[in-house]
Amino acid sequence: MTEKYLINARIIDPSQEMDEKGSVVIDENGKIKAIGKNIKKNDISASAEIIDLKNNILIPGIVDMKAFVGEPGYEYKENFRTLSHAALAGGVTSIVTMPNTKPLIDNVSMVDFIIRRGRDKASVNLFPSATLTRETEGKQMTEFGLLSTKGIVGFTDVVKAVQSTETMAKIMDYALDIGVLIMQHAEDYELSKNGCINEGEVSTRLGLQGISYIAEKIIIERDLCLLGEFPCRYHINQISSKESLEVIKRNKENGLNFSVGVSINNLSLNENDIGDFKTFLKVSPPLRLEDDRLALVEGIKNGLIDVIVSDHTPEDEEGKRLPFAQAATGAIGIETLLPLALEMHHNESLPLKKIIETLTINPAKILKINKGTLKQGSDADMCVFNLDTPWVVKADLLKSKSKNTAVEERKVQGKVLMTFLNGELVFKS
Amino acid sequence: MAVKKNTLAIKDQPKHLLGIQNLSIQEAKSILEEAKTFIKLNRSASKKSEILRGKTQINLFFEPSTRTQSSFDLAGKRLGADVMTMNVANSALKKGETLMDTAMTLNAMHPDIIVIRHQDSVAPNLLSQKVNCTVINAGDGWREHPTQALLDALTIINRKGKIEGLKIAICGDILHSRVARSNIYLMNMLGAEVNVIAPKTLMPKSIERLGVKSFTDMKKGLDGCDIVMMLRLQNERMQGSFLPSKREYYEFYGLTPEKLKFANKDALIMHPGPMNRGVEIDTKLADDINVSLVKEQVELGVAVRMACLKMYCKK
């Protein structure tokens, strides 16, 4: 490949505290050769392809810490190819894939399969996670050591939490020793049993079993208590309520080291959006009150929440066109992650740099992967977007195989124009 | 109840009766007015009318029901409709067919009305999107039971002459009760003040946002009430951790002549049935025709359902 010279960009790269007008030089190997406002003449070869970014914003490719790819077992919902297209259209270049496939990713041969399959079919960087426990039953931990040597970046039971305190203690103790990342879905099943939406006015009106914020809070309390004893690499996948944030704040202030994620759904919607019966808004953890949403935004601002994830969960029509209690849980979101996140910039609740940080360098640091940065020598995974272009989300135009978006017809502002992967232009709108 | 008769113009005719929440005051009042005319018919020697002659009504009951099902059955037949009751236990739904597929299948038979009772909240709304005929909700999950609330309203109007200005207490398992929710919406809409009384574990979150006052104490909750609606305590709730025992529930929340004294002197008792005598209500009190409206509720239920069928059925 020839060298590329990207000019007239506003470069925002929180990993090097950069927000400036400048250019990027990409070498023949797809790495960043030079970046910023002070590019030297001799950094650019005469044959370099020049791309004018016309003062649009250039950021490191987004790292999405939670997305579901249907392979194996659920190819009718999503596959590596369709997920890649959706991701690149959303400026996402690195994805942590969830292991709750069929069969589950809980053993070495499955990891081999998914890595090979991903290499053949996907056109983004895939970072597979494996299940935390065998069969996600919450009893027997998976082979953390063996699986990590095969390329697993983290361990999670995705939509299940380990209920047994004893098992969780053992997992954390063992994980501490070998240094793997535990990604917990915080939910006490006894408290959330049969629940499908937030416990409150909407659940009362719709006559549905609610899920109390306590179900989330109590697992976080328990795990952080254990973390004090076994300080392993611990990450909470998604939180949904202000009560959880209070626990997180207290523990972070006490010096405990862990990271926290939030789904873009919980940042851009609240329980009132469910209306009469929009099952597309049935997600886990559930959408809660506007107060909770505001608290989560504030949590990002003051650093209590480290990453924003898409929680991309493709589900087909049949799974959603059911009475609320029976309907499948989850929404797609990888393609709309950035524009929805930018809403928080447009409504002045978060600085742009903070938003980009939670989508790039923060997840990369937690995962200990060499992504989310445009420092010299890094892979040239990049996203170029116009901050202000307005557009309307239409499920039919999204690239995912499944169309269960939670933000159909939403007016958003900010559009991805180009996505680069290892220096190659892989998406252009 | 100063209502112009037939305020519902044919062209604006609402298609489905899915819940009181979707009803306007005019619609509710029209149904009640219409129902009054059927009370007389039902008491007369010849009860048959021809209003729905040639129309097909399917009763689709996913949950067992005695009084609602027979009431709709009778209502349809008295209006001259052909009524079919689906035995869901033996149907394709047991073989894994979804509600939507069943809806399409039934729709292909050109029914005019489907009356649906379903254990899942909001199921009738879903059904209504897939069929061409009228859908009437005969109770969905914990959400709504609109015809029950309408018959309760008619019963109250029949005895008290009005609803506006009355104070109504709803007592018992509010959490799991669609009857409570529909009644809260309707009584509020018709100008009554509503108190709900339940132990904390059977009180839904944020219930006050529905426009009621909530109490855990019968004495306070019944104070000044004109109507006391008791709800059935489902026995299966006793197995869980909702309540310690039937005995304790009866002690604090069972309606006895002593507790009834907390309400107004001429207060009347209602119950949607079936009753658990000695659990939520004293057995003598339940049968006392001077204070109990239970039998009247059942009687007027047929009239209200006839009114609903007539008004919602496609002409």
Sheet order of strands, B227-230 included:
B213-215, B193-197, B167-171, B227-230, B268-270
Tell me whether residues A318 and B99 touch, CB distance under 8 A: no
Residue A35 near residue A420 (C-beta atoms within 8 A): no
Tell me whether the omega of the peptide bond preceding residue A285 falls within 30 degrees of 0, making it cis: yes
Weakest mean pLDDT among A115-129, A358-372, B48-62, B91-105: B91-105
Chosen for mutation from B206, B212, B236 (greatest number of chain A CBs closer than 10 Å) is: B206
For the question of residue A311 being annotated catalytic, the response is: yes
Condensed to tens digits (0 to 9), the pLDDT of residues B194-221 reads: 999 999 999 999 999 999 999 999 999 9
Half-sphere exposure of A280 (CA within 13 A, CB side): 16
Q: N- to C-terminal Cα distance for chain A?
A: 22
Ranges assigned E (strand) in A232-298: 233-236, 259-263
pLDDT for residue A140: 96
DSSP structural state of residue A377: T
Asked if the C-beta of A215 comes within 8 angstroms of chain B's C-beta atoms, the answer is no
Q: Is residue B13 pLDDT above 60, yes or no?
A: no
* B60/B115 Cα distance (integer angstroms): 6
Tokens 């992650």 identify what position? A337
| CB atoms near residue B45 (< 10 Å) | 4
Q: Which amino acid is at B253?
A: Y
Q: Per residue in A53-62, is it b (16+ CB within 10 Å) or e — as a string?
A: beebbbbbbb
Backbone φ and ψ for A354, nearest 5 degrees, come out as -65, -45
Give SS3 for A164: coil
* pLDDT at residue number B93: 62
**A45 touches B at CB < 8 Å:** no
Interface touch B205/A204, C-beta < 8 Å: yes
Residue B114 burial by Cβ neighbours in a 10 Å radius (0-12, 13-18, 19+): buried
Sorting pLDDT into bands at 50, 70 and 90, what band is B103?
confident
Task: Determine, for residues A323 and B126 on separate chains, whether the beta-carbon distance falls below 8 Å.
Answer: yes
Report chain A residues whose CB lies below 8 A from the CB of B178: 207
Residue B2 above 70 pLDDT?
no
Q: Is A325 on the interface with B (CB under 8 A)?
A: yes
| pLDDT recorded at residue B9 | 42
Question: What is the pTM for the complete model shown?
Answer: 0.92
Does the beta carbon of A321 lie under 8 angstroms from any beta carbon of chain B? yes
Average pLDDT over all residues of chain A = 96
Among residues 28-47 of chain B, which lie with CB inside 8 Å of chain A?
Answer: none
How far is Cα A207 from Cα B142, in angstroms, rounded to an integer? 4
| Inter-chain residue contact B141 with A321, CB threshold 8 Å | no
CA distance to partner chain B, nearest, from residue A325 (Å): 7
pLDDT given at position B10: 40
* Chain A residues with CB-CB distance to B204 below 8 A: 203-204
CB contact under 8 A, B121 and A208: yes
CB A404 within 8 Å of CB A363: no
Q: Within an 8 Å CB–CB cutoff, is residue B60 touching chain A?
A: no
